[in-house]
Structure 1
């Protein structure tokens, strides 16, 4: 799950690393004291870590909600508009699939009834031909 989180927020991690690299180059080019840079890096890194822990908790909660959708009945409670839009599209797709499945079941039932009716109607002439062949009266007709 941690790899999914890093993949989801890879832009933020890349941006933070780019900012750190930019500030490091700036401090090095202007020959500013590196202790100030390290202190600011520690401070901003701590804030970034706290924000990422909160983001990880939200990500974990959302992922758990998505995985538990089958175990619950009712509407999922998503907090972000993108998640809610995905959920709505998912439900719309499921409704379409259920309607298509119902049409397929109706067609299958219709075909079963047709085969059942046809087999019943064809049994009578075949049974009469079999009876006529057994009694020998079939050759009298021909």
Structure 2
């Protein structure tokens, strides 16, 4: 209905001048007949002959334009491909010119898209190579620290660990645009995903004297284990960074949900609606100059693609709660890819 109204308005604008021109011409003819004192019957016959012809031409024109309009609307709703140009309605000289212009632009866009894809692949390959190369001196530093008998040995090891975490985050950030090709969906136990993460971050729990409370036995969900582990690492590590004392709690509150709670400094109410924005660090992040604003953004993006509903609640001075929910029936159907 809305589309039909738009088309009627288009007809009124497009053909109003032609109708006005027709009435202007027959008006001039009427004046000519009047000045020459000609018979009005001849004038009436002229109108009776010309008006049906004009009306038929008008109907044909409207029908042709409506056909072209509907074809273009179907093309607009479809995903654009260069082959779609063959479906464009062609007829008049200007339409052929527009077709040639679109064909030229589409070829240029395809070439630009190919170049961007090629550049992105080269960039990913470069960063992948760089990250593997930079890990070599990090491993060497780690070995050197292990041989040193220094009171800051644990602190140095933790800093090296953080550097490795940031390197991994960078690689995952580059992969996030095409991560669907890497999905392997299967039923996993949340307990089996969380415990290796806790073990991985154990030095930080010990260094800050933080407790850990796990109440997630028996929770099963269909997801990609590797990417879920990445999300939980970001959330748990954030909890450790912004918690000076207390504990991290991971528990199930309702069926097909679990929540990660910390007793940290919390998030300001005005920051909560924006914590998932790319690059947004909030007051806590601005206080921590190392914050990138990518961890929560990436976690939310990945959670959405895994079919997980992720939300945050917080109270300043009390802590933060990150809640995950899912529906087994709504899990993504893509179960291909390689780990």
TM-score bucket (shorter structure):
0.7 to 0.9
CA distance in 1, matches of 2:146, 2:45: 106
Deviation sequence 1:18-56 (CA, Å, 0-9, x none): 213333444566676666655543443222111101111
Q: In terms of Rg, which structure is larger?
A: 1
Structure 2: gaps spanning 5 or more residues: 1-6, 151-339
CA distance in 2, matches of 1:11, 1:132: 86
TM-score by length of 1: 0.74
Match of 1:109 in 2: 121
User: Are the counterparts in 2 of residues 5 and 59 from structure 1 also a CA contact under 8 Å?
Assistant: no
CA distance in 2, matches of 1:87, 1:100: 20
Q: Does 1:75 align with 2:81?
A: no
CA distance in 1, matches of 2:120, 2:84: 30
Q: Which moved more, 1:83-92 or 1:16-25?
A: 16-25
Match of 2:210 in 1: none
Q: Does 1:59 align with 2:65?
A: yes
CA distance in 1, matches of 2:35, 2:92: 42
Structure 1: gaps spanning 5 or more residues: none
CA distance in 2, matches of 1:26, 1:10: 24
Question: Could you tell me how far 1:121 is from its partner in structure 2?
Answer: 0.6
Secondary structure of the residue aligned to 1:75 is: helix
Match of 1:131 in 2: 143
Count of residues paired in the alignment: 139
Q: Evaluate the alpha carbon distance shift between residue 119 and residue 113 of structure 1 in structure 2; reply closer, same or farther with a 3 A threshold.
A: same
Match of 2:9 in 1: 3
Match of 2:23 in 1: 17
Q: Does 1:86 align with 2:92?
A: no
Q: Which moved more, 1:16-25 or 1:81-90?
A: 16-25
Q: Which has the higher helix share?
A: 1
Q: Which has the higher strand share?
A: 2
